[in-house]
Structure 1
Amino acid sequence: MTQTLMITQEHIKRYDVSGPRYTSYPTADRFVEAFDAAAYCRAVAQRNINSWTQPLSVYMHIPFCASLCFYCACNKIVTKRYEQGAIYLNYLQRELDLHLQQLGQQQAVNQLHLGGGTPTFLRDEELSRLMQVLKKAFTFSAEGEYCVEIDPRTVNQQRLQHLRNLGFNRLSFGVQDFNADVQEAVHRMQTYKQVATLMREAREMGFQSLNADLIYGLSKQTPVSFRQTISQIITLRPDRIALYGYAHLPSRFKPQRRILQEDLPSAVDKIQMLSEAVQQLMQAGYIYIGMDHFALPDDALAIAKQQGRLHRNFQGYSTMADQDILALGVSAIGKIGATYSQNAKTLEEYYDFLDQGQLPIARGLALSRDDLIRRAVIMAIMCHGELSYESIELSYMINFREYFKSELQQIVEKEKQGLVMMESDRIKVTDMGWFFIRAIAMVFDRYLQHDVNRARFSKIL
C-alpha cells in the first residue's frame, strides 16, 4: 500500500461521512415488513421448482453474552442466567423444523457459522445437542467450512477440544485490542497470554483456520498503542484477520453511551491506524483481501481472491459463491434466491412467532432487476477492486455507460481524487482507494443517493 502517504486532510474531511458496509445490497435498512414468512416460503418453493442443488450456507445466531462490551452493536442479551441457553435451543429446533417443512430434509451444507452474542455462552452439552440436531437435518460436506465465534474469556483447552470433536474446523477469536487501557475503557479485559495459549492449543487440535477480530477507533486508542496491538497479533499468526473500524452510534446502541466522545480517536488518527496496520500486516506476509479483511497466502480466502471467487455476505468476505443462506435465531438474516429475510429482533417477538407455529420472519426484501444489477456492480468493487463494464452488460443485457451515466460522472471525481483509475472498459480501485472503498461503492447505491438520513450508518473512516 505505497499510496497511503498520498492521503490528505482534504480526503479525510471529504470522506469523514456515514455509509453502509455493504455486506448486502440493498442494505438491511431497506427491508420491509411486507416481506413476511409467506413471501419467504414462495422463494423457497421457487428454489425447489428450479431443483437448485447448490449447497446451503447456514448461519445461526446465539444472542447471549455473560458480560457487556461497551462498543458492541450486535444483537445481544447480557445475562448470567445460563439456563436461557437450553430454552433458546428448544425454539431454534422449532424454527429449524418449520424451515425443513419448506426446504426438505438432508439439504447439502458446506458452510456453517455460529455467531452472536457469544456462541460459547452455551454449555458443552448444549453445543452437542445443537450439532446433533443440525447433523440430523442436513448433509454436511466433508470439505466444508464450519466456524464458531469464541470469546477467549469463555473457553479453555477442554472446550476447544469439544468444539473440534463436534466438527468445527474454524474459529474466530474476538480480540479487538490488547492494550489494557483500551480494554478497560470498553469493558473487555483479556490478556495477550490468554489468546496466545488458546490459538496454540487450537492449532495443535487441528483447526484448519483461525481468525482474529480487531477494532480500530476504540476509546483510548492511539496510533502508537494500536501499532503495538498489530505487532502482537502478527506474532500469533492467525490465518485471517478482520480489522473493523469502530462504529460509534450511541443513539442506536445504548451500551455505547458509556463511551465518551472525547475519548475516541479523531478521523486523522483512525486513518493513520488503518494505514499503518495495512502496511504492518502486508510486510508480515498477509494478503489484503479488501476493506477490513486480511489472510495469509495459503488461506482459502486469499486463494479465492486470487482466483476471482471472492464473495461478500452478511458475515463479511467469503470463499463461497453467491449461495443461499439459511438463517436461524433471533435477528438472523438469510438469503434465498433474489430475496433477503430477517427474523424478529427481540427474543420476546421471536418466541411469540414460534409459539404460534410461524416462521419468525419479521421483514425482508424481494430484489428488483435494478437491485440485482447494482448488487453485482457493488460486489465487484468491494470484492475485486475492479469493475468490468462488459461483464455487467453480458449478464444483464444493458448498456453500462447509459445505465450508469450519472454515476460515472461521479466516478470521474473519484478518479481526480486518486481513488480509482478509469479505463475504456473498466474501473479499477487504486491502493489508496481501498481506504475509501465504501465511498466508491456508495456512488452506485440508488437508495442512498436519495437518502437524507445517513446518520444511522457508521462513519466510513
Structure 2
Amino acid sequence: MTEHSEQNHSNSADHIEQPYNRAGEQPTTTRPVMQPDNPYASMRGSITSKQLPAFDEAIIHKYNRSGPRYTSYPTALEFAPIAESLETKILQNRETRAPLSLYFHIPFCRHLCYYCACNKIITKKNSDSGDYLQYLIAEIKHKRRLLSAPEGSSKPLVKQLHLGGGTPTFLRDEEMVQLWEFLQTQFEFLPENEGDYSIEIDPRELSEDTLKVLRGLGFNRISLGVQDLDETVQIAVNRVHSAELIENVLNEARELGFHSINIDLIYGLPYQTPDTFNQTVQRIIEMSPDRLSVFNYAHLPERFKAQRQIKDEDLPNPAAKLTMLGNTINMLSDAGYQYIGIDHFAKPDDELAVAQREGKLHRNFQGYTIMGDCDLLGFGVSSISQIANTSTRYILQNDTDLQAYQANIDMAKINPTVTPAVKVIKTSIKDRLREYVIMNLLCHDYVDFKDVNQKFGIDAITYFIDEIAQLGAMQDDKLIDMDAAGIRVLPRGRLLGRNVAMVFDEYLEKKHKNRFSKVI
C-alpha cells in the first residue's frame, strides 16, 4: 500500500513583504527551504518522547469523521482534464537542479484479496508482465527526452525509486533486471547507500532468487503486505500465508543487507477480534520490522467490487476496531516504535523516525518520505507525478484504464502532442501556503507562525483567523495547543492529526464533504 513537501534553493522569501492573497502575487518559493534553526526539529525531544499518541476512545468518537489522507494538497479529487501538450511543457520547464523520485505502478496480481480497494488486474499470464514492461520502457523514453540534466551532468539525478501496485514482483526476475538496467542508461542514480530504492512484495509470489536479484540491483528497502496472521481471517479475505513464510522472508532480507523492512497490517477485517489481532501484532513485533503500517479497513463494497465477497455481519463492530487500534498503539509504543503519523510506526533509528525528530519529514503520494526535495515522476497506468517549476507545481495522473493508458503510449510514439498524463492540478499560491501548513501538521505536529510568515510573506494569525477560531474546540479538548508562536498537536490529538489538518483544507467542505472514509 502506498501512498511531497518541497524545498527551493532561493532565499528570496526573506525579502517578500506582500501577502499571498493579492492578485498576481508570485510565490516566494516552490520548495520552502528548511532554515538552519529549523523550528520543526526536536519537537519530540528524546526517543522516549512525550509525543507518544494518547488513545482516548471518547475523543476519537467525537472527532472521527471522513477526511483525506493528504498525500497531496489539493487532493486527487481536484484533477481536471489536461490540455494538449501541457505535460510536455511541464517536464521541459521543471527545475533541473531538483532531483527525481521515480514511481512505477505495476497493476497485476495473481490473486484477488477481498479487502482490496485498488484497480488491480488479476491474471496468471506471464506474458502480461512482458507486454506491460514494454509500455513502461516506451513511457520512460518519452519522458526522458523532455527532461534536462543539471549543470555538469548528462542525466537527471534520481534519489528515490519505488515500485508499487498491484504486485510489483509480478514482474519476473529477468524483467526486473531489464527495467533496472534500462533505467541506468536514462538517469544518474545515487549510490544505494545514499538513495532510497524500494519495492512492495507479496511474500507468496517470490521466486527462490527474487530477493537476491533485487538486492543485487540496488534495492535497499522492501515492504511486505501481511495484513493478518490469523488463518480464519486470511481465508476470509483470500490471502493465506504462514507466519513462518513472513519470518523467513524477513530473515533472508536482513541477511542480504536490505536497509529497511516494512510490514503492512489491517485492522477491521472479517473475523478479527481484539485478542486475535493482539496475537498478530505481538508476533510481528517479535519479527522486528523496521517500519509498520497499520491501516483501518474501510468497507465500501458499493465502490470496490472485490469487497462484495465480505459480509457485513462478519466484520468487527466499531468498538472492537477501536480496541484493536488502542491495543496496537500501546503494544508498538511499549516495543519502542515511534508513531510517525497516519497509521505509520518506525523504530527510533529508522530514517523516517530520525527525519521526523530532525524536522525534515515530508509527505507525498508515496506516503511519508525523507526525500522532500525531489520531483515525483510516475510511470504506468494510474501513476501520479508531482513536478515543480519556478512559479508553481503541477500534479499529473496517467489514465487509470490499462487499455486507454496503452493507447496513449502507442499514440505518443507517432504524435508528440500526445502525452501519458490525462489529468492535471495546477497549484495556486494559496494552495502552496495551505499545503505547507497541512504537511507540517501531519509530519511534525506543529506549525510555526514565524516560519510561515517568513516563507510566504503573510501574517499567519491574521490570514488564518477563521481557521484558528475553528480550532478552539480542539484546544478546549486538549488535542492542540495554540499561542502566538504557532499550533502544536498534543499527544491526545496525534491520532486525529488529519482532523486538525482538515480545518485548513479550502476544498473539503465546499465540494467533497462525503467522499472519504473515516479517519479512524
| TM-score, normalisation: structure 2 | 0.85
Aligned length: 454
- Which position in structure 2 is the counterpart of 1:427? 487
Answering whether residue 288 of structure 2 is matched by residue 237 of structure 1, we say yes
What CA distance in whole angstroms lies between the structure 1 residues aligned with 2:158 and 2:186?
Answer: 10
- Which position in structure 2 is the counterpart of 1:173? 224
- Which position in structure 2 is the counterpart of 1:26? 74
**What is the CA-CA distance between 1:177 and the residue it aligns to?**
0.9
**What is the CA-CA distance between 1:210 and the residue it aligns to?**
0.7
SS, match of residue 517 in structure 2: coil
- Which position in structure 1 is the counterpart of 2:34? none
- Which position in structure 2 is the counterpart of 1:310? 361
Deviations 1:343-385 (A, max 9, x none): 0001011011011113221101010011101100100110000
Find the partner of 1:111 among 121, 142, 160: 160
What CA distance in whole angstroms lies between the structure 2 residues aligned with 1:264 and 1:391?
Answer: 46
**Percent same amino acid at aligned positions?**
44
- Which position in structure 1 is the counterpart of 2:141? 97
- Which position in structure 2 is the counterpart of 1:39? 86
Answering whether residue 353 of structure 2 is matched by residue 353 of structure 1, we say no
Deviates more, 1:239-248 or 1:341-350: 239-248
Q: Is the 8 A contact 1:55 1:107 kept in 2?
A: yes
SS, match of residue 356 in structure 1: helix
Answering whether residue 260 of structure 2 is matched by residue 209 of structure 1, we say yes
Aligned runs of 1:2-17 on 2, under 5 Å? Answer: 4=54, 6-8=56-58, 11-17=59-65
| Aligned residue type for 2:177 | S
| Aligned residue type for 1:24 | S
SS, match of residue 147 in structure 1: strand
Deviates more, 1:107-116 or 1:287-296: 287-296
| Aligned residue type for 1:40 | E
Answering whether residue 198 of structure 2 is matched by residue 138 of structure 1, we say no
Find the partner of 2:460 among 395, 400, 405: 400
Alignment CA distance shift 1:201-1:156 (3 Å): farther
Deviations 1:217-240 (A, max 9, x none): 222222211111110110111111
Find the partner of 1:190 among 217, 237, 241: 241
**What is the CA-CA distance between 1:37 and the residue it aligns to?**
5.8
Answering whether residue 396 of structure 2 is matched by residue 341 of structure 1, we say yes
What CA distance in whole angstroms lies between the structure 2 residues aligned with 1:3 and 1:364?
Answer: 36
SS, match of residue 4 in structure 1: coil
**What is the CA-CA distance between 1:307 and the residue it aligns to?**
0.7
| Aligned residue type for 2:142 | L
Aligned runs of 1:154-169 on 2, under 5 Å? Answer: 154-169=205-220
**What is the CA-CA distance between 1:156 and the residue it aligns to?**
4.2
Find the partner of 2:507 among 434, 447, 452: 447
Name whichever structure is richer in helix by fraction. Answer: 1
| Aligned residue type for 1:454 | K
- Which position in structure 2 is the counterpart of 1:263? 314
Q: Is the 8 A contact 1:147 1:169 kept in 2?
A: yes
Unaligned runs of 5+ in 2: 1-50, 149-153, 413-417
**What is the CA-CA distance between 1:157 and the residue it aligns to?**
4.1
Q: Is the 8 A contact 1:150 1:172 kept in 2?
A: yes
Answering whether residue 57 of structure 2 is matched by residue 57 of structure 1, we say no
Alignment CA distance shift 1:267-1:409 (3 Å): farther
What CA distance in whole angstroms lies between the structure 1 residues aligned with 2:499 and 2:83?
Answer: 32
- Which position in structure 2 is the counterpart of 1:86? 130
Alignment CA distance shift 1:386-1:430 (3 Å): same
Q: Is the 8 A contact 1:421 1:428 kept in 2?
A: yes
- Which position in structure 2 is the counterpart of 1:292? 343
Q: Is the 8 A contact 1:94 1:354 kept in 2?
A: yes
SS, match of residue 454 in structure 1: coil
Answering whether residue 457 of structure 2 is matched by residue 457 of structure 1, we say no
**What is the CA-CA distance between 1:164 and the residue it aligns to?**
1.0
- Which position in structure 1 is the counterpart of 2:276? 225
Deviates more, 1:174-183 or 1:269-278: 269-278
SS, match of residue 146 in structure 1: strand
SS, match of residue 75 in structure 1: coil
Deviates more, 1:165-174 or 1:101-110: 101-110
Q: Which runs of 4+ in 1 moved over 6 A?
A: none
Alignment CA distance shift 1:322-1:411 (3 Å): farther
- Which position in structure 1 is the counterpart of 2:437? 377
What CA distance in whole angstroms lies between the structure 2 residues aligned with 1:355 and 1:428?
Answer: 50
Find the partner of 2:198 among 147, 167, 171: 147
Alignment CA distance shift 1:390-1:268 (3 Å): farther
Unaligned runs of 5+ in 1: none
Structure with the bigger RCO (C-alpha within 8 Å, sep 6+) is 2
What CA distance in whole angstroms lies between the structure 2 residues aligned with 1:230 and 1:68?
Answer: 24
Q: Is the 8 A contact 2:399 2:420 kept in 1?
A: yes
Q: Is the 8 A contact 1:343 1:361 kept in 2?
A: yes
| Aligned residue type for 2:263 | A
What CA distance in whole angstroms lies between the structure 1 residues aligned with 2:420 and 2:488?
Answer: 42
What CA distance in whole angstroms lies between the structure 2 residues aligned with 1:330 and 1:406?
Answer: 40
- Which position in structure 2 is the counterpart of 1:273? 324
Q: Is the 8 A contact 1:218 1:265 kept in 2?
A: yes
Q: Is the 8 A contact 2:104 2:379 kept in 1?
A: yes
**What is the CA-CA distance between 1:247 and the residue it aligns to?**
2.4
SS, match of residue 241 in structure 2: coil
